[in-house]
Amino acid sequence: MVVTFNSHEQQTIVQETLAGSVREKVVNLTGVSYSYVKQGGSSSYSLERFDLRISDDNKSLVGKALLRHGERELKFVRQQTPGR
């Protein structure tokens, strides 16, 4: 996963490697390592964890991102590919 954010008014880009498991409709993703693509003003990066559930229509993942500074609700939506 590629994460882009600003730190000390400088853009930082991080490549994070995730390990995951799927059990029925529950998807768990956990950050296991990272490297800087562009370090910018960042001196460190906290790995993330995602606890997600596959929607009934199988078109989205809904759940929480568990971050160092708290939790965030989130939703990943499958994009339609033309011709498919």
Give residue-wise pLDDT tens across range 50-62.
Answer: 999 999 999 999 9
Region class of 70: left (phi > 0), else alpha (psi between -120 and 50), else beta: left
Mean pLDDT of 11-40: 96
Per-residue pLDDT at 80: 79
Q: Average pLDDT, whole number, for the chain?
A: 93
d(CA 30, CA 64): 12
If one compares 64 and 78, the residue with the highest pLDDT of the two is: 64
- Whether the model pTM is above 0.85: no
